[in-house]
Amino acid sequence: MTLLPDQRIILTGATGGIGCELAKQLAAKGAKLGLVGRSLVKLEQLSAQLKTDSNNICLICADITKSDDRQSIIEKMENDFSGYDMLINSAGIMDFTSILDQSDERIEAVFQTNVIAPTLLCKKVMPYMLAQNKGHIVNIGSTFGSIGFAWFTSYSTSKFALRGFSQALRRELSETPIKVSYIAPRAVRTSLNSSAVYNMAKEVKMNMDDPDFVAKKIIESIIKENKEKYLGFPESLFVRINAILPGLVDMATRSQNKIAEKYVR
């Protein structure tokens, strides 16, 4: 079982809805946090809310899609905390749109942010974690990473890739002390979701969780070292059904997809 106090954690997406709550709850447990986001103002606002010693917090203004910025995350952690024990990849972007209406650049950005950057960050932290004989990589996925959702096509695909990466990496590292967890929330009330998503979710009665609750569940999963965790029922069941009987889920989601289509236009 992972012991959280004094753990040195790199948290991407720290300024986001889930990331902020993770930061608050991890700080309250005594973790040393490298908070990563692109806006220093947002990072400072978050830092002011954390109930912890300021020496336990390191603000890292970085765009994770840029190689130099990923290197600066590592250097800042080495400089401020002499290293790191955990990487939580929580940064992510999402569009609710027909794939035809999403620009090529935006599709590339979704894959860069949700798949390529987390993959390259994992690769960056692994040598040090192997050398210190401990480490935990936590990738934040989504229910949409197991069930392909219409109108969230690029996002869904990116989370499928992140799930596959997490599974393969976990197996590749199974004889090492590095743990790999993939934790997949269902919909969460954060600004990742546009007003169109909220309106659609209301009409199709999509379950939505609050970010503080989701952060609590993510931390529980980290402590238990869950390999894969799907948050929320019945979504966790639908994940299994879709894996075995995708044709059944095609039929079950047909009417929901038609309703959702109204909101993307």
Ligand X SMILES: NC(=O)c1ccc[n+]([C@@H]2O[C@H](COP(=O)([O-])OP(=O)(O)OC[C@H]3O[C@@H](n4cnc5c(N)ncnc54)[C@H](OP(=O)(O)O)[C@@H]3O)[C@@H](O)[C@H]2O)c1
Shortest distance in whole angstroms from residue 59 CB to ligand X:
12
Shortest distance in whole angstroms from residue 20 CB to ligand X:
8
Shortest distance in whole angstroms from residue 174 CB to ligand X:
25
Q: Which amino acid is at 127?
A: P
Chain centroid to CA 149: 18
The three-point CA angle 197-206-159 to 5° equals: 70
Shortest distance in whole angstroms from residue 238 CB to ligand X:
14
Q: Strand order of the sheet with strand 32-37? A: 57-61, 32-37, 8-12, 86-89, 135-140, 178-184, 228-230
CA–CA dist 197, 129 (Å, integer): 39
Q: Which amino acid is at 213?
A: F
CA–CA dist 209, 160 (Å, integer): 21
Q: How far is CA 46 from CA 17, 33, 36, 71, 72, in A?
A: 11, 12, 11, 23, 20
Q: Which is nearer to ligand X, 6 or 44 (CB)?
A: 44
Shortest distance in whole angstroms from residue 242 CB to ligand X:
16
Nearest C-alpha neighbor of 89 from the set 149, 30, 169 = 169
Which residues would be at the binding site for ligand X (CB under 6 A)? Answer: 12-19, 37-39, 42, 63-65, 90-93, 113, 140, 142, 185, 187-188, 190-193
Nearest C-alpha neighbor of 80 from the set 34, 130, 43 = 34
Q: Which is nearer to ligand X, 52 or 190 (CB)?
A: 190
Shortest distance in whole angstroms from residue 239 CB to ligand X:
12
CA–CA dist 262, 161 (Å, integer): 28
Shortest distance in whole angstroms from residue 162 CB to ligand X:
8
Q: Which amino acid is at 251?
A: M
DSSP state of 46: H
| Pair 166, 213: CB distance under 8 Å | no
